[in-house]
Amino acid sequence: MRHPRYERHHTIVVVRVAAVFADEQPAAEAEPSVNALKLMEELISPVSVAEAAAGGATTSLFVRTNHMAEHDFLQAQALHTFASALLSDAGSRGERRQVPVFLSMTKLAELMLDEQKRTNARDMILTSFAANYPKKSNSDAGDVLKQAMELRALVIVADVRTEVDVHALKSEAVLEELLAQRLLLVATEEVIGKVEAELPSILFERCRMLEVHTWGCFMNDALLSNGAAKQLLLKMRPTADRDGHYERISALHLGSAQIDKDTQQELCNLLTRKECILRTLDVSNTQIDGNALVQALSRNSSLRSLDVRLVTAMTDVYESLGDMLLAPDATCRLSYLRCDAFDVHEGESALSLRERPLAQGAMRLLTGLLRHNRDVADLDLVATGMLPEWATMLIQTLGANPATTSVKSVQLTFNPAIDESAQAALVAAVEARELKVELKF
């Protein structure tokens, strides 16, 4: 049973060409999502003067994984992320450089269980660190780590693999030493679930508790062949228990992959399944057929973000994709899109298309995206060749559900077709729908 103090979050962990997520099924969207790379960045962010004066306590992360494969991916990515950020010249953060280090809880537990080697908590932790370094450098590494530990400058990735390893977590003295540093603790559900009730309360009180639930796969740099892409999609076919790796992928990046008709059909089949959990899809610079993709998306409710840049003839289906998104009974909830006409990114509140002429299809597509987008607050359409009927369609779409409309400002200056009469009509439309949207002409 999952501990009631655990939150279910959406966490992404990139492992070269793969990623790990934690969240409920995207279609449900019952709880907020959290990017794991951002969590790691927050973990190593500088402590302010005020925080330092108050003790400088930094929330540690305790991540439960479903099985050892997830465990290893998360641990490897964390070490790579911390080392890349903290060991490079550009990665120096704050007044003193932080030191990323791996801690084997197996080694620490062995020391604690051996009466002849058992000492105080700090020395045993330092000895456990030293076990991971070559003997020739043990002395130098030990001195550096000891100093960093005294300065509370360590970023520790702690690895819990067995029930024996958990023995180290039962010691409040050990926990106090670990939690005084920046800590990422990784353990499988199978291991922690059996001994959870025996762990000290400070572990739960001072750690941010997370779980891993779904995966992502980033293959843009792999240049997949058609056969490899098809095999990947076949493995992603949903199963009843979703215990495997591939069928739990919720972010799929296939940029520049070879996608022939048979592979395209597998992708469309995946998108149209009611069990589909894909939230992000990148098919940029591929030969995928735009019409087939629109047809598949019309039966999909999970996808939120799509990248179709450099897809041949994709501009020809902008309008039909927009029509599909604007249909009253539409099931597709696409909110973010990268295409050759514009980019609507996740989390960005300002969208500027200033001085970028928009065609009818592109404008209709943009309007369809804004129907479900909850991020864009400021929309800059200055000198885009906007026509009155396009602007009216935008206002009507925003007014369809004013309670969830995020757009607060629309700039329409230097669009000659929107003359004084058109401006008055648009203002009247905003007022009639009681929209809190400011139009700037």
Q: Is the pLDDT reported for residue 96 higher than 80?
A: no
How many other C-beta atoms lie within 10 A of the C-beta of residue 134?
A: 7
> In terms of C-beta density within 10 A (0-12 exposed, 13-18 middle, 19 or more buried), how is residue 344 classed?
buried
Q: What is the pLDDT of residue 143?
A: 85
Task: Please provide residue 361's backbone torsions phi and psi, each rounded to the nearest 5 degrees.
Answer: -65, -45
Specify the range with the lowest mean pLDDT, choosing from 13-27, 54-68, 189-203, 223-237: 13-27
Q: Give the C-alpha distances (Å, rounded to integers) separating 241 from 236, 245, 275.
A: 13, 11, 11
The answer, yes or no, to whether residue 193 has pLDDT greater than 90, is no
> Mind giving me the DSSP string for 209-247?
EEE--EEEEE-TTT---HHHHHHHHHHTS--SS--SSGG
What tens digit of pLDDT does each residue of 305-355 get? 999 999 999 999 999 999 999 999 999 999 999 999 999 999 899 999 999
The average pLDDT across 387-413 equals 92
Contact 148, 126 (CB under 8 A): no
Q: Look at residue 268 and tell me whether its pLDDT is greater than 60.
A: yes
In contact, 434 and 402? CB cutoff 8 Å = yes
Average pLDDT for 369-375: 94
Q: What is the pLDDT of residue 309?
A: 97
The class level of CATH for 13-211 reads alpha beta
For the full predicted model, state whether its pTM sits above 0.95. Answer: no
Query: Does residue 133 register a pLDDT over 90?
Result: no
Q: What is the mean pLDDT of residues 56-69?
A: 78
* Percent above pLDDT 90 for the chain: 59
The predicted structure's pLDDT at residue 20: 38
CA distances (Å), origin 354, targets 105, 268, 341, 384, 395: 55, 35, 12, 6, 19
- Whether the CA torsion 113, 116, 121, 124 is positive or negative: it is negative
pLDDT given at position 22 = 36
* pLDDT on residue 342: 97
Mean pLDDT within 404-410:
90
Residue 90: band (very low, low, confident or very high) from pLDDT cuts 50, 70, 90: very low
Residue 205 scores a pLDDT above 70? yes
State both tokens at 419.
């003359």
Strand ranges for 119-172 from DSSP E? 154-160
pLDDT range class, residue 15, cuts 50, 70, 90: very low
Contact 128, 104 (CB under 8 A): yes
Residue 29 has pLDDT above 60, yes or no: no
Q: Band of the pLDDT at 19, cuts 50, 70, 90?
A: very low
- Sequence-ordered list of residues with C-beta below 8 angstroms from that of 73, at least 6 positions apart, any chain: 13, 15, 18, 20
* Contact predicate 373/344, CB 8 Å: yes
Confidence band for 135, pLDDT divided at 50, 70 and 90: low
Q: Residue type for 279, please?
A: R
What is the C-alpha radius of gyration for the chain, rounded to an integer number of angstroms? 26
Cα distance between residue 150 and residue 143, in whole Å: 11
